[in-house]
A and B are shown apart, each in its own frame.
Chain A
Amino acid sequence: MAESDGLPEVRIPGSFETLYRQHYAAVVALVYAMSGSRSVAEDLAQEAFLRAHRDWSRVSEMDYPAGWVRRVALNLARSRLRRLGSEARASLRAGPASDRSHPTSEVESEAFWHEVRRLPSRQAQAIALHYVEDLSIGEIAGVLGVAEGTVKALLHQGRERLGRQLRAKGLIDRDV
């Protein structure tokens, strides 16, 4: 039920409420991995769900509505980074957003996502979907709209490249 705002109430289908409640945290986590910003992650995740609600009659008929929301969120994150490329570089110069008081493991994790964001976008998205959400190959394929074989290739290439990057940074001892 919408709050009173002087406008006609908008019905929120129960199925949408369930999707929102069950997947919001995962979508925020995913966008965080791809943006490095908690506030941006929440903003873009909410935008993705608002779009799903707007088109719910269509989205609800899809095989994997939660995957559609993730795909929109990932594209929003990518569009934002490209549009704000100059600003993103400025942030990179300062290093990954980190608080020195954070535990070492958190700093390492931020550094990991920083390196993921340097991958070609499809590889980065596949890596994020795998390690943030532990999605299966088929589920990742559903989100990205590609064949399962493509997902396997993206993950393989992404891991290989990421492993080299992380090893060069001293974040891991061994390659993949």
Chain B
Amino acid sequence: MTFEEVANRAGNQASRIGKDAERPTFSRLLAQRRRRNVISAWSAAAVATLSIALVILVWPSMGISNPAATSPTLTGVPASCPVTVPGRSAFTPASETPEGPPSVYDEVWYGTPQLWTMINPQGEVNSKRWLEGDRTFWWSEEYSPDNPGEFTITAEQIDGPTSTVRVSEPAGSGFSPFMVQPTHESVTHVGIALPEPGCWRLTAEYKGATLSYVIWFTETTMGEFATYTDEGNVWIVSDCPNTDQMLRGNPDGLPAVDGIQTREEIEAWLGTGGNSKIVQRNGEAWDRNPDGSVFTLEVEDFMIEVTLEDESGCPGASVINNGVPVIYRIEGAP
């Protein structure tokens, strides 16, 4: 069997699958989407009412706006860790924002119109992304391009050695809208990597609104990665202490803008000048074969390089901005 024979057969197979796929009339597809919006908007009113009641009853003095969420007993999670479980009907924005995240993520909006994010409806338990570092996505109806304000996310470990990760940056800073967002302006992305497993409370603050939720993850969920820490993972070495990062698997590249993802367009979006620039750092990542063995593959990746005058400007932990790793250079450093 030659390469072309196998490739052409595979191409034909994929084409057959495409032709066999049910193609709903577009009017039906559109109607389904809009009907869900109507139902979700109705649910949101009830949920919002319940949220307000809960805030009044449970958190009268904390100033933290947590929407309806419960903390049932979750398998493997200690009772001392009140993981936030929003359920399926957590929150629907009132604006033209879609009623929920893309279905492929199987997540729900969580928060309030002043500040919301997307999380697992069953609770963020053993999600491997937290140790790997990943984007978190945030929206607010208070956002304005003319007055973006500062967005801050703080992660506090609440069941072990007191450890805090804090990332703060201008809202909507420089990068693309998240794919689900038709009104691009009201979104910001912040990457965060938590240094160790356990019970963490993530608290975001934006324009006076605060949103908090609790997650749980264990070391064991990362064991399969830890076994292969020398198998082609990408280390990003920074001039700043505590900001080296190890990216496992395919690190995120630059996010797409309206379905377009080219370096030139992202650079145009980022703008020129200032103390940050985009640099290309190709490397290798790893994945597994079906038999469990590990292989490495080349990855084409881009990162943001920030140049600082001295160490006083260094952050306390590694930073991933909008899914793009940030590396730090200090002027004059060897």
Contact = CB atoms under 8 A, between A and B. Distances in A.
Interface of A: 1-3, 5-7, 10, 12, 16-17, 20-21, 24-30, 32-33, 38, 40-51, 53-55, 68, 71-72, 75-76, 79-86, 89, 92-96, 105-106, 108-110, 112-114, 116, 118-122, 127-128, 130-134, 145-146, 159, 162-163, 166, 171-176
A75 B261 contact: yes
Given A109-B9, A176-B3, A44 B104 contact: yes
Given A29-B17, A108-B6, A71 B259 contact: yes
Interface residues of B, number: 63
A63 B262 CA distance: 18
A27 B6 contact: no
B11 interface: yes
A171 B1 contact: yes
B38 A5 contact: yes
Contacts of B298: 120
Contacts of A109: 6, 9-10, 12-14
23 contacts: A10-B30, A24-B18, A27-B18, A29-B14, A29-B19, A32-B14, A43-B102, A49-B26, A76-B102, A76-B259, A81-B250, A83-B129, A108-B9, A109-B10, A113-B10, A113-B14, A116-B10, A120-B299, A131-B10, A145-B262, A159-B3, A163-B3, A171-B6
Contact of B10 (A2, A47, A108, A122): A108
Contacts of B34: 2, 5, 7, 10
B17 A83 contact: no
Interface in B1-34: 1-3, 5-19, 21-24, 26-31, 33-34
Contacts of B128: 86
A2 B27 contact: yes
Query: Can you list the 7 inter-chain pairs with the closest CB atoms, starting with the nearest?
Result: A29-B18, A72-B259, A95-B290, A131-B11, A112-B10, A109-B13, A3-B31
Given A28-B21, A112-B7, A121 B300 contact: yes
A132 B18 CA distance: 10
B8 A47 contact: no
A33 B14 contact: yes
A148 B28 CA distance: 38
Contacts of A51: 259
B176 to A, nearest CB: 10
Interface string B220-241: 0000100000000000000000
B300 A120 contact: yes
Interface in B286-307: 287-290, 292, 295, 297-300
Nearest to B106: A84
A80 B31 contact: no
Given A72-B259, A106-B13, A131-B11, A172 B21 contact: no
Contacts of A30: 14, 18
Nearest to B264: A145
Given A75-B256, A83-B134, A85-B249, A50 B105 contact: no
Given A17-B26, A72-B259, A89 B6 contact: no
Contacts of A95: 290
Contact of B26 (A16, A44, A106): A16
B179 interface: yes
B268 interface: no
A172 B6 contact: yes
Contact of B7 (A44, A48, A131): A131
Nearest to A35: B104
Nearest to A73: B259
B17 A41 contact: yes
Given A5-B38, A28-B21, A49-B26, A118 B7 contact: no
Contacts of A120: 297-300
A31 B66 CA distance: 38
Contacts of B80: none
A32 B258 CA distance: 21
Contacts of A48: 259
Contacts of A44: 104
